Every structure is written in C-alpha cells, then in structure tokens.
Amino acid sequence: MTTELKGKRRFLDWVKSGRMIEVRDPQDNSIIAEVPAADPEDMLKCIEDAKAGAKMAASMPVHERMKIINAAADYIEKNSEKFAYTIAREGSKTIREAAKETARCIQTLRISAEEARRIHGETIPFDQSPGSENRVGYYYRFPIGVIGAITPFNDPLNLVAHKVGPALAAGNAIIVKPATVTPLSALLLAEAFEHAGLPPKVLNVITGHGHEIGDVLVTHPDVRMITFTGGLKAGEAISRKAGLKKITMELGSNSPVIVLEDADLEEAVESTVSGAFWAAGQNCLGVQRIYIQESIFQEFQNRFLERTNQYCVGDKQSELTDMGPLINEREAIRVENLVNEAIDKGAALLTGGERNGAFYSPTVLADVPEDCTISKEEIFGPVVLLYSVNNLDTAITLSNSVNYGLQAGIFTNNVNKAYNAIAKMEVGGIMINDSSDYRIDAMPFGGVKNSGLGREGIKFMIQEMTEPKVVCFKLSSC
C-alpha cells in the first residue's frame, strides 16, 4: 500500500522536473510513495519563493507566530498515530520509537512558540565611554531572512522541527531539504503548518537528490544561513562551498560512556543497551564505546550481553519490537564490513554480527584494536565496543582519543569523580548516571572537534537564526 500525498501537494506541485523518487520501506524494500526529484531550476524557484516568504515572516507579530506554531503542534497531537506510522514506515524506527519522536516534535514546537516571546535585547550604557554622555540606546534581534535546512533520515520529523520551529519563531523563512530516503515526515510537518494558517512561501519543503540541488541551496547568496545535520564529509563540503553566511552543523560522534566500580550496574546496563541500539544504532548520541572499571568488567559484560540478547528485532510496526532494520541494505553491509574488519584485526565478537538484508543484529565487540575504523569513526549502526580500564583517568584519556565530542556519559556515585570527568571530557554535554543518549529539546545541543559547529536547542538556535541590531540616540543638550 502506498502512502497518499493528499494535503501535501502544495509543497510539491511546482516541481517541474518530471522525475520522481521512490520512497521505500527499509524493512521489505516495498515502495510506499513517490515524490518529485527537483532539479536546480526548481531550487532556484524555491529560493525566490522563500525570499518573498521572508518578508511576510519578518512582518508577522510575535503573537501570530506563537499562535501558528502552537496550532501546528495541536494538529500533530491530534494526528499523532498518522505521524508515528509515517516515521516508522519510511525509516528505521519501531512504532514505539516513532511515537516518542512524534511526542518530542510536539514538545519542540511548543517550546519554539514560547521562546518566540523571549527574543530580547538589552539597553546599552553608552555613557561608559567619555564623550558619549548624551547618548542612549539598546540592541534588539532581527530575523536573518532565508534559512536553508538539510536534514537526516534518522529523526525525520523532530530534527526537521528543530530547524523549522526556531526559524519561524524568529521570523524567518526556511527551505527544508529532507533526506532523500525519508521525505514524507517533513512533508507531513509542512502539512501541519498549512493547517495552522502559516502563509505560503514561509515554509518550503523541496524533495530531491542532494548532489543535484544541494549546491544551489548552499551557495546561493540570498540564503543567509545553512543548518545541516548529517555526516562529517558532507559537512566539510558544505562549509567549503557556503561562503560568507551563517552555518550550524551537527556532524555525529563516537560517544563514550564510563562505568566505574561504584556505579549502579543495573541502571548502567539498561541505559547503555538502550543507548547503543535505539533506532538500530543510527543515532548521533548513540553509545559506541563503553569503558568499564576492571574490577566490575566481567559482571558488567555478562549483564550487558544478557540484556542485549533479549532485544527483539523484527517488524517495526509491532509494539513488541525493540529494533528494526537500518535505513537500507547498503548501510547494513557497511556496518557488517566495519565489524568484519575489527574481527579480522583481533576484536572479539561477543554477540551479534549477523546481517539479513537491511537488518543487522545488536552486536557487542571487545578487545577492539585502536587502528580499527570502528574504534575511531562513527559506526551509525547497532554495534557497541566494551573496554576494561584500570581507573577514571585512563577512561577519560581514551574517551578523548577520537576526533569527535558530542556527548558522553559516566556512571558513578562519587561526586568528585563525576566533577573530574565533567572538567576533563572533551564533549558538548556530559550525562551523569545516564548514557550519552539523553537529550531534552530545550537544552543547548552540539559538540566540539569534528562533531559540529554551533548549538541546537530552541533558545540557542533562535540566537543563531537572528542578528543583533544596535540603536543609538544622540540627544540634544537640555
């Protein structure tokens, strides 16, 4: 059965290339929909529309922005089963994971509406400078105009909302280029804003292949900001091409978690298993490396393997399923090759390591040599590496040994050790007694090193999507 595109045609009808992209369910490779494959001329038209939309958005009063964003959240809440089904159908998430993403999207939009009222400036004491005693003024923040958003497949609804919500709250127009393999959730979000009364051309969703239309979006001088979530190589290419415009990027990680001997092992195991295999491991915050203090290593490993082997892999639409397939068979083969490389170099396969089409079983490795790709780069699959360490300092050193730094976790009941890790771990966020895979949509989110530029999180993205303007009055002498 194919997915109907009724209600979303306004965002697609103007694409004139005539070519289509098949959207397939990775579980069985069945075609669920077709969307237009835009060409460079289509993207240029989209940018012209967005320029007109930016003028409308900037003139929209804050209360109207808030009303529309909240109405879109209401629409999603009313149709949450439809949204969750679409997420699970076109992507890798199980229906339970998709329902949680839908709930988070609603929260993301609600926070965006609230933050729209908090785009504040400040007064400036100009008389701090000699000769400026007769000057008063302030600064305020104004929208930057047209924003280009390039979004990934692994959170096809909420990661789009994380760009759309702040952009609209700040009074910008936005062009969303969703992942080619998961465009339907982004189109559903656009449908929600259409029902909410958002004027045409303020939110623009364009479907197509990145290598055909991406450069037009990234390099166009009227697109004043690019916000990208995806892989490191693509991010580096965008940064080279974009020129003088704002850029925010979230480029993934190789997230470490430290488990010390005083930790609550049951909590640590449950949290790290979930963190490793959520969304089939296709998660920028996913637990990839676990450093366990040697005195508890064997017990932790035994419990971790027991819990991993209880994971139910299968039909995404079943409430009983814990993990579905990767986004396609090509990605599953890539993960399989990374695991096989590690095993060939001496890593121990403790469980998993089996592929069936796009499905790859939850996999645990130990004794992985440092020169393996899987120990240095992001896996983006259901694979986790266990290491025994003698103390916290060693664990921190090893955690920092890769060129990523998005988030980390540490399990300990010793506040001094927790603060030691906080001070020394090179990451954008550290979770105490939780895995790296924890995030709320209001917090600043981003990393250091190759994990990206700037911060997401609604309040913080609004700062990125606005500019300060200084106003100074020179007063006549009384």
The DSSP letter of residue 9 is G
Using the CB atoms, write b or e for 68-81: b if 16+ within 10 Å: bbbbbbbbbbebbe
Q: Is 197 exposed, middle or buried (0-12, 13-18, 19+ CB in 10 A)?
A: exposed
**E strand or H helix at 38:** none
**CA pair distance 234, 214, nearest whole angstrom:** 10
Alpha helix segments (H runs only) across 117-169: 158-169
Residue 449 has φ and ψ, to the nearest 5°, of 55, -135
Residue 41 annotated in active site:
no
**CA pair distance 209, 427, nearest whole angstrom:** 32
Give the C-alpha distances (Å, rounded to integers) separating 68 from 84, 101, 135, 170, 420.
22, 21, 39, 13, 45
Residue 81 annotated in active site:
no
Residue 106, phi-psi category: left (phi > 0), alpha (psi -120 to 50), beta (remainder) = alpha
CB 327 within 8 A of CB 87: no
**E strand or H helix at 322:** none
**CA pair distance 299, 194, nearest whole angstrom:** 54
CA dihedral of 285, 163, 238, 154, whole degrees rounded to 10: 40
User: Among candidates 312, 237, 320, 325, which has minimal Cα distance to 280?
Assistant: 325
Catalytic annotation, pick one of 261, 284, 372, 378: 284
Catalytic annotation, pick one of 101, 191, 194, 250: 250
Give the C-alpha distances (Å, rounded to integers) separating 29 from 26, 92, 154, 180.
5, 12, 17, 15
Q: What residues act catalytically?
A: 250, 284
